[in-house]
Amino acid sequence: MRPSLSTNGLIVAATGALFVLLGTLLATWPLVALGILQISSLLVLYLLFVPHAAMFRRRRLEFAWWIPAHEVPSGTLTVGQPVQLQLLFRNHSPLTVAAAELTPICSSALEIEGASGSTIQRSQARFRDAPSLRVRIPRTREVRFELSLLPRAAGHWFLQGLALRLVDRFGIFVMHAYFPNRVGVKVFPPLALGAPLPLRPQTGTAHERAGPRLLRRRGLGSDLRELREHVPGDPFKRIAWKATARTGKLMVREHESEILVTHQLLLDISPSMRDGAPVGAQKLDTGLSLCAALARAAIEGGDRVGFSSFDTRLYQQLKPGEGPPQLYRTLERLLELHAVVDEDLTDMTDGELCSAVANYLAYQEGLDVRLPAPPERGSTRWDDIVVGSAGELIDLRMTLREVERSLARQPKRPTLHESSIRASKRSLARLRRFCRLRGIELPYRRSSLVADKGDGMAEALSAAAAARGSRFIVVVSDLLDIENPEVALETLALAKRKRHSLLVLVPGQTHDDVGMSTHERRIRNIVAMRRRREQKQLRRAIRALGVPVIDVASALEVYSVIRSLRGKQLRHSA
């Protein structure tokens, strides 16, 4: 935190040095005196600005921020609903902090707006790149002000800290400081209200136990539904002989049973569900909302819900359960899908990973695990050194030790155990787990050269269809970038033969083309032509199996879509 010359200061310094040089060469002493005067003025301004640096080094300026309890009575935030964010500064020094520029550093899904409505931060940017807010902090005073925090996507997100840029009154010297103050926020997808799902599995299949759903079955069950005329295939032992004698027609008894329906939700988390839009406007966000709405409707209807997510492999799997605890477990799995850190699903080398963790420890924890100088050639210390993305040398053993100490001070989350993270080494798995728990965002990989999304979809479908009872299986996927669809189609056909009810929902993308030039829009449309053609062929093949494929733009549409399918499902029941 040392003062440095700003752009204006560099111009003044360069001008003064040029005057001195030209005056010396041309023997023009007034010009030399003018240059010396400019340089001397810079030295005086530097001496006047140095006490501000001492103020930061002695921690005479304190910062805190929080979300008021009355803003989130339930303790959680919801996508698209802004909340108030309060900031507090205490200046214990005798100096006034004037013209300070504040830049919040937060997760990419959080958007912070100032009191005037101007956007301060939307992405996890560097100090010099992000827009800022100007404030004035008087000496020996406490300053409070309010900002607006708008969550754009569901997940576990973080407010990491505040970057402060202080400029002197003449704009000659500038100083940067960072105030780490990590605050975690849990953002839930909007749980659309709706009636319990009206779909039922097909009849003639065993179910686990009784439940709130009425299932029409031929002659079986405890409650009489109706008397109807005999049709080919009805068992003769269910003929109602008294009614037959009374009407003169062959009549059978139709009963209904109370069953428990199991809903299995399968969500695609591949790169095609993330491309083309910022976090909060991706197809994955629409899929999260769809799964959350379906899970809530099923749980409130007294049914069971299971959840799985897939890419080129099965990523998550939650066994079916019932009641509010199962809904919470399902939502927890959904919130983790924007924080994937597995080595085979992220586009980050080991050096880049260590560099990201080292930078985080330096800024947030005040711990520098980078070596100032390389060890001697042949030293055993080289075994514990990793070269970072910028060529810096990072002590891996020290990094792991500090990561373990940092994680030991944090409450454990059962869904984020180390064994669930795939990495080539156990030490790298610890670093990736640290990235997830601290909100260090790792870029999701763009493509895979060793596996196909069709394999992951088939694996998820096989696990869902392996149950003995009939289930209602919902696949949420954009059906793009599937190079080998035959495996997925065979698994869908097998699930259909096992008398599972299947539905494929294709989520829409909520972003528009604002900010794109005509040339960029044309290139995007050309690239998307082949993908749309392949998607159309896959849609046609899935419909040929008798599985509905429906486009859904938001979670609010899912109820009307499912209700429209009720008659089709009832016609399948015998």
Helix (H) or strand (E) holding 72: none
Report residue 114's pLDDT band, with 50, 70 and 90 as the boundaries.
low
Asked if pLDDT for residue 574 goes beyond 50, the answer is: no
Helix (H) or strand (E) holding 32: helix 29-57
Strand, coil or helix: what is 17? Answer: helix
Reading the block at residue 229, the tokens are: 């005329």
For the segment 38-49, the average pLDDT, to the nearest whole number, is 90
- How is 425-441 classified by DSSP, letter by letter? SHHHHHHHHHHHHHT-P
Strand 213-218 to 223-229 pairing: unpaired
Asked if pLDDT for residue 522 goes beyond 50, the answer is: yes
Reading the block at residue 501, the tokens are: 């009810």
Cα(148)–Cα(77) distance, integer angstroms: 13
Percent of the chain with pLDDT over 90: 29
The runs of H, that is alpha helices, within 80-162 are none
Reading the block at residue 258, the tokens are: 């109370």
Mean pLDDT check: name the lowest of 93-102, 165-174, 223-232: 223-232
- Which sign does the torsion angle of CA 403, 404, 405, 407 carry? positive
Cα(177)–Cα(175) distance, integer angstroms: 7
- How is 178-234 classified by DSSP, letter by letter? EEEEEEEEEEEPP----PPP---PPSSS--SS--SEEEEEES-SSEEEEEEE--TT-
Task: Pick the more confident residue, 222 or 362.
Answer: 362
Cα(60)–Cα(416) distance, integer angstroms: 38
CB contact at 8 A, 60 and 92: yes
pLDDT of 564 reads 60
Backbone angles phi, psi at 98, to 5 degrees: -110, 145
Encode pLDDT of 182-195 as tens digits: 998 999 988 654 44
Report residue 288's pLDDT band, with 50, 70 and 90 as the boundaries.
very high
Scan for tokens 């111009």, then name that residue: 11
Encode pLDDT of 380-406 as tens digits: 888 888 888 888 888 888 999 999 888
Which residues, 6 or more positions from 446, have their beta carbon under 8 angstroms from its beta carbon? Answer: 271, 275, 347
